[in-house]
Amino acid sequence: MTKAARGSLLGIEHLEAAEILGLLKLARRMNPAKPRALLKGKRVVLLFYEPSTRTRSSFEVAAKSMGAMTVLIQSSGSSIEKGESLLDTGYTLRAVGADAIVLRHPSAGAPHLMAANIDIAVINAGDGMHEHPSQALLDAYTVLRHKRSFKGLQVAIVGDIYHSRVARSACHLLSKFGARVTLCGPPEFVPEVAATLVPGIRLTRHLEEAVRGADVIMLLRVQKERLAGRKIKLEDYIARYQMTAARLKLAKRDAIVMHPGPIIRGLELTGDVADCPQSVIVQEVANGVPVRMAILARAMGKAR
Amino acid sequence: MAQNKTPSLLIRGGHIIDPASRIDGPMDLLLRDGQVAEIAPPNKIRGNAEGKFDARGLIVAPGFIDLHVHLREPGQSHKETIATGTAAAAAGGFTSVCCMPNTSPVVDSPEWVHWIRQPERGALVNVFPIAAATHHSKGAVLTDFRSLQEAGAVAVTDDGKPILDEAVMREALRTGAQLNLPVIQHAEDTRLTAHCSMNEGPTSFRLGLRGMTVAAEAEVVDRDVQLAQMTGGRFHVAHLSTAEALKPVRRGKRAKVRVTCEITPHHFTLIDENVGDYNTDFKMNPPLRSAFDREAILVALADGTVDAIATDHAPHALHEKQVEFERAPFGVTGLETALGLAITQLHRDHKLPLARIVELFTAGPARVLDLRGRGTLARGSFADVTIFDPKKRWIFDAAKSRSKSRNTPFDGWPLTGRVISTIVAGKVVHREG
Ligand SMILES: [Zn+2]
């Protein structure tokens, strides 16, 4: 395997803190409302092997607002359906002149395979249960709109950590900047091994313990099928882990509530928490665009 | 092979290690008519030999035996053929290989056992077919052990898949016991490993991959040791990989159950962390395990619990491995790196005596499958000899492999210990340099 092309974004784990800060700084200078033709003439392929609304549209808007042309390829209705391999699809896209590939794939490591074999920037838009780096970056961007820095920040991540690429990317990012991360959920969703991901992670089975004194509460989506598969009763999960207004009171007064979406009101959080002033869930979606503009600009060497 | 036409060969000046005969010292060796004609102290062999081999500074050992290789024929010749696989075996010092039946079709009939053994296959070393234990290796209906054995099968297994059904496994061991035919188990409770592509642990969590637990291997071994005790059958554990699975093997051996086990070079060398960021050349089944498991394996190799080193040589084409990690097939090649890894890892780094390493490649595997006249240099045994330099440093270059495939985790590895010559039935089939 060779090295990934410059500008690729495969995950947060191997990024230097300085690179992350650079991207966040660049994102602050990006304004989707004031288009700049930074990427005029560039071709960005959105290669999505999984359905996605917010990530896909966010990348698309980001690319277009910098003047790039976008091509959307989804697994249904393309040669992927006919059994073409991931690399062959990559070679084809390279040949038609793609300058960057934004890849969403159900299999962990798919972007690494692509990046190791194809000499254009590959941006991971979520790979299996592994990482979702653009989500972690937009979350970091959102946190820094409300908090001075990450240092010493108490962050609770609640829900199905095991299946979550968002959680893995968030843990890597937060630990690089000295935040104190607590993972919370039942053992089926937060196995002991989760504590080995980055140094200094704490685990707890009690939501109250995770939330008490927290600055940031990140909720994760919980899929009903997975509860069933892991033999957890839905009512029990809700009783123990749902974020309610009462539980939110245990957090710092200025704590923010985050969620990568899509949310299910009445499951991982109550409707009033989703809509409360501390909720930044809608801001996260909006912040996705400038952050992804920064990611794309960096990918195509236009990060100045 | 036309053994009687092979010229006689005198190997002199070498240091012979033949654990089966308890020989470990300077000795000369005369091969004639496909047999070991004489073994004697230096310069004591009289009479003329047609050829001479100067083995000064080298170890002369019985020909190595690999209990577990995938030669991919019939049906998967784009990965390997019997000809290319045995060429790789010869380069790795193996004079005999036992090939697994998970081909296409599965080797579950005497006809296919015969087919593998036909001279037209172009085998460079001895090939001992292992036949399927159940029809199509589906784990339900036993194959005809007797006719398979008569055709030349040396054991039965459904390798690649386990025999999960307890009644079927019990019957296999019972039938095998009557014929003195070993049953080899790929110990994996596949009900616990669906969609898993590596070992369960911090690395699988970091990579977001589903992990195989230690229990999925150990519980099958534990059950089968009990079944072997009950039936008196000969039970062999293929590619054992966990500390937990060593426990029932030790327990069985103490209780005189007929249980044996093999370890692969990749499991005594590497751990799950080495998978890095989804390198499919580090994906095999059983997967690379934790550092804890590797330590336990090193202990078991030293203390005699382990009977054999076997490569589980499993070639795959580049395009098959260059896919998403979860979709890539399991398996790595291993014939050409086995001795170098054993000497580097076990002898140099963990102080295992060379004689023990030779035993794990010769007398040990010969005992597991009862290969009479193999794995020893006693007079009258087959003239299969492996000559190696235990101090030679070299770098393994996968591009130069004799195998058809390149899926090795050891490309570019510096190794100590190299095969210098491989002799099958008195004939030199590989010569280094
Ligand atoms: Zn196997």
Ligand 1 center from residue B299 Cα (angstroms): 22
Residues of chain A with Cβ-Cβ distance to B214 below 8 Å are none
Looking at the structure, do residues A100 and A168 belong to the same domain, yes or no? no
The pLDDT score that the predictor gives to residue A228 is 67
Residues in a beta bridge with B30: B10, B38
Check B208 against A129: CB less than 8 A apart.
yes
Q: What's the average model confidence in pLDDT over B345-360? A: 98
Chain B touched by A13 (CB under 8 Å): yes
Looking at CA atoms only, how far is residue A273 from chain B in angstroms?
A: 30
Q: How confident is the model at residue B303 (pLDDT cuts 50, 70, 90)?
A: very high
Looking at the structure, do residues A94 and A172 belong to the same domain, yes or no? no
Domain extent at residue A226 = 146-279
Chain A touched by B396 (CB under 8 Å): no
User: Which positions of B are catalytic?
Assistant: 312
Looking at the structure, do residues A248 and A295 belong to the same domain, yes or no? no
Residue B252: burial class (beta carbons within 10 Å; 0-12, 13-18, 19+): buried
Looking at the structure, do residues A191 and A273 belong to the same domain, yes or no? yes
Which of A112, A114, A192 should we substitute to test contact with B (largest number of B Cβ atoms within 10 Å)?
Answer: A112
Residue A240 counted as domain residue: yes
Q: What's the average model confidence in pLDDT over B85-103? A: 98
Q: Which residues surround ligand 1, an ion (CB under 5 A)?
A: B 159, 186
Q: What is the pLDDT of residues A119-146, one digit of tens each?
A: 999 999 999 999 999 999 999 999 999 9
Q: What is the pLDDT of residues B108-123, one digit of tens each?
A: 999 999 999 999 999 9
Question: For residues B164, B167, B168 and B171, what is the CA-based torsion angle, rounded to 10 degrees?
Answer: 140
Looking at CA atoms only, how far is residue B324 from chain A in angstroms?
A: 5
- Sorted by sequence, the CB contacts under 8 Å of residue B120 that are 6+ apart come out as none
Chain B touched by A88 (CB under 8 Å): no
Report the number of distinct structural domains present in chain A. Answer: 2
Check A117 against B322: CB less than 8 A apart.
yes
Q: How confident is the model at residue B1 (pLDDT cuts 50, 70, 90)?
A: very low
DSSP state of B28: E
Q: Flag the least confident range among B42-56, B197-211, B242-256.
A: B42-56
Residue A200 counted as domain residue: yes
Residue A12 counted as domain residue: no
Q: Which domains does chain B have, with CATH numbers?
A: 9-60+383-431 (2.30.40.10), 63-368 (3.20.20.140)
As a whole number, the mean pLDDT across chain A is: 94
Residue A1 counted as domain residue: no
Check A168 against B202: CB less than 8 A apart.
no
List, as one string, the DSSP characters of chain A. Answer: --PPPTT-B--STT--HHHHHHHHHHHHH--TTS---TTTT-EEEEEESS--SHHHHHHHHHHHTTT-EEEEEESTTSTTTTT--HHHHHHHHHHTT-SEEEEEESSTTHHHHHHHH-SSEEEEEEETTTB-HHHHHHHHHHHHHHSS-STT-EEEEES--TT-HHHHHHHHHHHHTT-EEEEES-TTTS-GGGGGSSTT-EEES-HHHHHTT-SEEEE----HHHHHHTT--HHHHHHHH-B-HHHHTTS-TT-EEE--S---BTTTB-HHHHHSTTB-HHHHHHHHHHHHHHHHHHHTT---
Residues of chain A with Cβ-Cβ distance to B324 below 8 Å are 86, 105, 107-110, 113
Q: How confident is the model at residue B426 (pLDDT cuts 50, 70, 90)?
A: very high
Looking at the structure, do residues A41 and A120 belong to the same domain, yes or no? yes
Looking at CA atoms only, how far is residue A95 from chain B in angstroms?
A: 19
Looking at the structure, do residues A171 and A266 belong to the same domain, yes or no? yes
The whole-angstrom separation of Cα B132 and Cα B27 is 41
Q: Residue A45 corresponds to which tokens in the numbers above?
A: 């392929």
Ligand 1 center from residue A130 Cα (angstroms): 28
Looking at the structure, do residues A274 and A216 belong to the same domain, yes or no? yes
Looking at the structure, do residues A185 and A261 belong to the same domain, yes or no? yes
The CATH number of residue A186's host domain is: 3.40.50.1370
Residue B316: pLDDT over 70: yes
As a whole number, the mean pLDDT across chain B is: 97
Looking at the structure, do residues A86 and A203 belong to the same domain, yes or no? no
Q: What's the average model confidence in pLDDT over A167-193? A: 97
Residue A204 counted as domain residue: yes
Residue A5 counted as domain residue: no
Task: Provide the pairing of β-strand A69-74 with A43-48.
Answer: parallel
The whole-angstrom separation of Cα B196 and Cα B206 is 14
